[in-house]
Amino acid sequence: MRSNPATPPGGVEWLNYHHLLYFWTVAKEGSVSQAARSLRLAQPTVSGQIKALEHSLDTKLFERKGRRLELTEQGRLVFRYAEDIFGLGRELMDTVKGRPTGRPMRLRVGISDMLPKLVAQRLLAPAIHIDEPVRIVCRGDKTDRLLAELALRDLDLVLSDVPVGAGVKVRAFNHLLGECGMTFFAVPKLARAYRRGFPKSLDGAPLILPTQENLVRRSLDHWFGMLDLRPRIIAEFDDSGLLKAFGRAGEGIFTAPSVVASSVREQYQVQAVGRTEDVRERFYAITVERRIKHPAVVAISESAKQNLFADAS
């Protein structure tokens, strides 16, 4: 009977690191052909080594999506371990040869697509300046997709303006970073036309708003109703950056959190039409831990409460 080469005498299972290297390279390159060129090997050789690794681990690591290979759930898990293994290998070589390792701590952050990017930048900035070197890896997407990656430990943190609800099948914890009111912005010509008499001046005014799935949009709609205002909605977006780009082009009035009002004015060359504290936007750090432990996330939370939102509550 032929024994499994991954299981030597004594029953101890050993990982073939050549196989793992080929897998890691394919995952990084996105295709066997690209990986083969990088490794200077024939494509069949690389494909065969991947199949051998799948056989030894008894799991499928890739699935084909069109012309690209995408990692399966187990593939993502193996890839994370491979990143650490080969990162440690490079650090070992640097240490032995007397070179500085400079291996930074990694913080993998998911940013909800409707979270204003200026707020995200202000929230993340303190993490860069902690005593320990840190590398921030950011990914933007729909909140539900980011939460799925958080549950798989593909992310350390999700920044969102919506908390995890009771109906979400992900074990995660909401950490409120702060909240603030909303400021309405427009290009100078529109701002001058609608600033007088704010907020009543918004009745019939051209507005660019988030889509109705957004919590802030629902709060704005409620506020308009309470004041008996019927603005003219020009466009709706589920991407905060695109929404502001249309505002900068002069297509209508848009809103942004008041804590970044000065940055919005400078970056988008717009002026404030008015401000309200009756519509509040909240910001959350979502983690799988009840108590935040990651040093960079601790810095984000403390700075948000002590600095960014200190005067906004």
Check which CATH number belongs to the domain holding 289 and give it. 3.40.190.290
CA dihedral sign of residues 232, 235, 240, 243:
negative
Shared domain for 146 and 220, answered yes or no, is yes
Shared domain for 40 and 170, answered yes or no, is no
Shared domain for 139 and 91, answered yes or no, is no
Query: Which structural domain range is residue 87 located in?
Result: 17-96
**Are the C-beta atoms of residues 184 and 272 closer than 8 Å to each other?**
yes
Shared domain for 270 and 306, answered yes or no, is yes
Q: What is the pLDDT of residues 30-87, one digit of tens each?
A: 888 888 898 899 999 999 999 999 999 999 999 988 777 889 999 988 998 888 888 7
DSSP H or E segment with residue 138: strand 134-141
CA distance 193 to 209: 19
Helical spans, DSSP H, in the chain: 17-29, 32-39, 43-57, 73-96, 117-128, 143-151, 188-195, 215-226, 240-248, 261-268, 295-303
Per the domain annotation, does 11 fall within a domain? no
Shared domain for 139 and 247, answered yes or no, is yes
274: three-class secondary structure by DSSP: strand
Q: Is 76 exposed, middle or buried (0-12, 13-18, 19+ CB in 10 A)?
A: middle
Shared domain for 42 and 129, answered yes or no, is no
238: three-class secondary structure by DSSP: coil
Residue 253 confidence class, pLDDT cut points 50, 70, 90: very high
Q: What is the pLDDT of residues 92-117, one digit of tens each?
A: 776 676 655 556 778 999 999 889 99
Per the domain annotation, does 8 fall within a domain? no
Per the domain annotation, does 10 fall within a domain? no
- Both tokens of 309, joined, read 């939102």
Q: How far is CA 138 from CA 100, 106, 110, 141, 200, in A?
A: 26, 11, 6, 10, 40
Structural domains in the chain (count): 2
Residue 253 amino acid letter: I
CA dihedral sign of residues 257, 260, 262, 263:
negative
**Are the C-beta atoms of residues 224 and 163 closer than 8 Å to each other?**
no
Q: Domain holding 34: CATH number? A: 1.10.10.10
Per the domain annotation, does 41 fall within a domain? yes
Shared domain for 128 and 219, answered yes or no, is yes
4-13 average pLDDT score = 54
Per the domain annotation, does 7 fall within a domain? no
Which tops the pLDDT comparison, 152 or 111? 111
Task: Using the 3D structure, point to which of 76, 96, 116 is the last residue of a domain.
Answer: 96
In this predicted structure, what is the pLDDT of residue 2? 42
Shared domain for 154 and 281, answered yes or no, is yes
Shared domain for 242 and 110, answered yes or no, is yes
Task: Using the 3D structure, point to which of 96, 131, 161 is the last residue of a domain.
Answer: 96
Examine the pLDDT at 16 and tell me if it is beyond 80: yes
CA angle 167/169/174 to nearest 5° reads: 75
Q: What is the pLDDT of residues 180-191, one digit of tens each?
A: 999 999 999 999
**51-58 — which CB contacts under 8 Å span 24+ positions?**
52/16, 52/19, 53/16, 53/19, 53/20, 53/22, 53/23, 56/4, 56/5, 56/6, 56/13, 56/15, 56/16, 56/19
Shared domain for 121 and 269, answered yes or no, is yes
pTM of the model: 0.68
Shared domain for 140 and 251, answered yes or no, is yes
CA distance 196 to 258: 19
Examine the pLDDT at 301 and tell me if it is beyond 90: yes
Per the domain annotation, does 312 fall within a domain? yes
**Are the C-beta atoms of residues 284 and 176 closer than 8 Å to each other?**
yes
**Are the C-beta atoms of residues 209 and 218 closer than 8 Å to each other?**
no
In this predicted structure, what is the pLDDT of residue 114? 85
Per the domain annotation, does 5 fall within a domain? no
Shared domain for 198 and 221, answered yes or no, is yes
Task: Using the 3D structure, point to which of 68, 96, 124 is the last residue of a domain.
Answer: 96
Q: How far is CA 100 from CA 81, 97, 132, 232, in A?
A: 23, 9, 15, 60
Per the domain annotation, does 164 fall within a domain? yes
